Amino acid sequence: MAGQYVSKPTSHARDGIHSHSKDFTEVPTPPNDNLALKSPAFNSRLMRALRRETVDCTPVWLMRQAGRYLPEYRATRAQAGSFLALAKNPELACEVTLQPLRRFPLDAAILFSDILTIPDAMGLGLYFVDGEGPKFERPISSVADIAKLAVPDMDRELRYVMDAVRTIRRELDPAIPLIGFSGSPWTLACYMVEGSGSKDWGKVKALALNEPRAMHQLLGVVTDAVIAYLGAQQAAGAQVLQVFDTWGGTLSPAMYREFSLPYLTRIARELKREDAPLILFGKGNAPYLEELAGSGTQGLGVDWTVTLEDAARRTAGKVAVQGNLDPAILYASPDAIAMQVQASLDSYAAGNGGSREGHVFNLGHGLSPDMLPEHVAALVAAVHAGSRQRQLG
């Protein structure tokens, strides 16, 4: 009999790798003849929440949950020799993906990779400079450069990503969902044109304004690539997919609606993902929540510049809402973190008719290297305890 999760956290080992799981019990769920054909992760907290179904407590995962704040990650990265060497080694990428789940009872794993794998596979030559972030050897500098771009072969240029997904899915507790991801078309275009990060994204905005047809051509081929890339990750074993629209919020409303929103909507509507829910995350996306909720996505990730109460009310039950604690709160004490977590949980419920269904807890952006693992542990514990207590109350 299919059941829903109840609050009995256990720890399972798979090939010596410990991850936190939850027991199933005979709690009735609506009849569904297809449940027997689904993977165990289909009935996980995260996937149920993304379907706006009842869960025993709010699921939580964190952007950059595998990263430099963990000493074991730093050791594995040193072993690899560089960030790119780490990301392109499926076995080591699997190792760092699983590291945070050994420490914390997180409700999902997220593929360890980088958002710039697609432009790298298109031939732009990704490399990293310590203290400066990602750069491209051959950024887009002309309309002719755009005309040469093509969707990469997922089985050749991006095979290392799919091999990592398959390896992680093999080693991960089958009841825990694996999240695959991509950068958004606009965010990828930003790096492809600028050649690196930027304070104002002046080059890419100038291209959009001076050569709008060329920009739409660029965004079109990148969107085709993102759809193929996410589809390949899903086929390799990812059960949830997220698009990071990191720089969409830097656009004016008119430019956002022309150069970001239509391409996010294309992904949501054209990506054949079967039972894999899609989350659209965007920094600074608060002005566009109603439009994003109508895109066809199942989840909408928001940052800390909008309250969860407001986000829940404005999306009106059309999508699950993910977020949105300010990452800087993790520099506070564990008690202060717990208070802020509870305030976020209560804010979502206030905007969702008193219910916490349809909420996935996350930060409004990623963890930073100087954050303390003990504070991350306090956050995860506070989410589970605080949301379970609300239900019991």
What residue has token string 């449940």?
35
State how far the Cα of 393 lies from the Cα of 10, in Å rounded to an integer: 24
Helices (H) and strands (E) in the chain, counts: 16, 11
For residue 7, the SS3 value is: strand
Q: What residues contact 117, with CB distance under 8 A and at least 6 apart?
A: 87, 126, 158, 161, 229
Question: Identity (one letter) of the amino acid at 133?
Answer: G
DSSP single-letter state for residue 255: H
- How crowded is residue 136: how many other Cβ atoms within 10 Å of its Cβ? 21
State how far the Cα of 30 lies from the Cα of 389, in Å rounded to an integer: 24
* 337: phi then psi, degrees, rounded to nearest 5: -60, -45
Positions marked catalytic: 64, 68, 77, 114, 191
End-to-end CA distance of the chain: 28
Q: What residues contact 90, with CB distance under 8 A and at least 6 apart?
A: 160, 163, 164, 166, 167
* 128: phi then psi, degrees, rounded to nearest 5: -125, 140
Hey, what's the torsion of the CAs at 167, 171, 174, 175, to 10 degrees? -120
- Give exposure, 223-253, as e/b (b: 16+ Cβ within 10 Å): bbbbbbbbbbbbbbbbbbbbbbbbbbbbbee
For residue 39, the SS3 value is: coil
Six-digit token string for 258: 């022309």
- How crowded is residue 80: how many other Cβ atoms within 10 Å of its Cβ? 18
